[in-house]
């Protein structure tokens, strides 16, 4: 796992430099809007979604520098989603990554606009960034893939379903549907966009990667739910027990803690099965397998 930690840290530093470049290019650095954007993007985070872009692109022969634009776009979308997710009329969180959430530090209006601006910046990067290795049809497909992943058939749908389910007793099937949209859609998009950047369109490889991404996306959410129960504030960077306070159904609340852990392990093993199929096509999947293990063993 130490080698994986090195890979993850190297990837985090790489995308952080790219994010700093794109945010620094904005003309009004001292405006509250840009400061709010920087606060929510640059101050911490695991950067797992950009890592998936980099590692998927690597599978198909692209170097990290060629993937900075799509990796940054994915992380900017994630940052925007967290800003909006934390708002008082959404999940009402006051702490994120150990720091005040965007609306707490800058006010609700600026937070809303910062989220909107991060989303538009992400699409601007995909449309305009220099990516000489990427064919125009693949660039357009990357844009449409990201749009589909975060809209009314993706992340936003998941958030809507999540809000509607508050204080309701939902089944594990419904809970899984919510999180496959809310959390899983962007993770699946990260994998697909990394492949598209490398010009990869072959069905078997992309199908196995999509199955892998779907499983680790849900495993990530199950582990998040577990950490909301057993995690420590300093480690997870937010107040534990937040889901219970707003009446959300979670995997531990529906299954119990041990069965929730078993669910995460099952998803991990299913994700590995997809990687084994991908490996039979000649691809080195060791790093992606280590990521899947990290997701269910992490403490933050």
Do 278 and 209 contact (CB within 8 A), yes or no? yes
Q: Please report the pLDDT score of residue 27 as a whole number.
A: 80
Asked whether the beta carbons of 42 and 19 are under 8 A apart, the reply is yes
CA neighbours within 13 Å on the CB side: how many for 297? 10
pLDDT given at position 176: 96
Q: What is the pLDDT of residue 237?
A: 64
Q: What is the CATH number of domain 1-297?
A: 1.10.600.10
Residues 39, 30 contacting (CB under 8 angstroms):
no
| CA pair distance 15, 13, nearest whole angstrom | 6
Q: Which two tokens stand for residue 168?
A: 């309701």
pLDDT at 137: 95
CA-nearest of 19, 117, 25 to 68 is 19
Query: What residue segments make up the domains of the chain, in order of their start?
Result: 1-297
Record the pTM: 0.94
The residues that bridge with 100 in the sheet, in sequence order, are 95
**The pLDDT value given to residue 209:** 98
- Measured CA to CA, the distance from residue 59 to residue 68 in angstroms comes to 16
What is the reported pLDDT for 123?
Answer: 98
pLDDT of residue 260: 96
User: Do 49 and 213 form a contact (C-beta atoms < 8 A)?
Assistant: no
Per-residue confidence (pLDDT) for residue 233, from 0 to 100: 66
Helix axes 108-128, 68-86, angle to 10 degrees: 160
Residue of 41, 40, 36 whose CA lies nearest to 21:
41
Cα–Cα dist 58/276, whole Å? 17
pLDDT at residue 84 in the model? 97
Which helix (H) or strand (E) is 96 found in, with range? strand 95-96
Q: What is the DSSP letter of 171?
A: -
How many CA atoms are closer than 13 Å to the CA of 191, on its beta-carbon side?
A: 21
Containing 99, the helix (H) or strand (E) segment is strand 99-100
pLDDT in tens, the chain (300 residues): 558 888 899 999 999 999 999 999 998 877 999 999 999 999 889 999 999 999 999 999 999 999 999 999 999 999 999 999 999 999 888 888 889 999 999 999 999 999 999 999 999 999 999 999 999 999 999 999 999 999 999 999 999 999 999 888 899 999 999 999 999 999 999 999 999 999 988 889 999 999 999 999 999 999 999 998 887 766 666 666 677 777 788 999 999 999 999 999 999 999 999 999 999 999 999 999 999 999 999 987
Using only C-alpha atoms, what is the Rg of the chain? 18
For residue 231, what pLDDT is reported? 75
CA distance 120 to 32: 17
């Amino acid at each position: 796992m130490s080698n994986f930690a090195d890979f993850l840290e190297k990837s985090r530093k790489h995308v952080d430099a790219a994010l700093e470049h794109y945010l620094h290019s904005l003309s009004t650095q001292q405006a509250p809007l840009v400061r709010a954007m920087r606060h929510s993007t640059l101050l911490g985070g695991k950067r797992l979604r950009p890592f998936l872009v980099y590692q998927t692109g690597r599978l198909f022969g692209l170097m990290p520098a060629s993937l900075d634009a799509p990796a940054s776009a994915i992380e900017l979308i994630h940052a925007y989603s967290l800003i909006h997710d934390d708002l008082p009329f959404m999940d009402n969180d006051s702490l994120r990554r150990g720091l005040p959430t965007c609306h707490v530090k800058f006010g609700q209006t600026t937070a809303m606009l910062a989220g909107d601006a991060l989303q538009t910046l992400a699409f601007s990067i995909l449309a305009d960034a220099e990516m000489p290795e990427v064919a125009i049809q693949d660039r357009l497909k990357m844009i449409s893939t990201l749009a589909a992943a975060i809209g009314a058939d993706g992340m936003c749908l998941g958030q809507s379903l999540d809000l509607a389910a508050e204080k309701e007793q939902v089944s594990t099937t419904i809970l899984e549907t919510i999180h496959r949209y809310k959390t899983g859609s962007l993770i699946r998009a990260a994998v697909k966009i990394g492949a598209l950047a490398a010009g990869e369109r072959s069905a078997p490889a992309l199908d196995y990667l999509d199955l892998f991404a779907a499983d680790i996306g849900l495993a990530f959410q199950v582990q998040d739910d577990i950490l909301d129960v057993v995690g420590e504030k300093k480690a997870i960077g937010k107040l534990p027990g937040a889901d219970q306070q707003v009446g959300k159904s979670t995997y531990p609340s529906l299954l119990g803690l041990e069965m929730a852990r078993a669910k995460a392990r099952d998803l991990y093993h299913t994700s590995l099965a997809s990687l084994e199929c991908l490996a039979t096509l000649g691809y080195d999947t060791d790093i992606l397998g280590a990521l899947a293990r990290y997701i269910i063993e992490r403490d933050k």
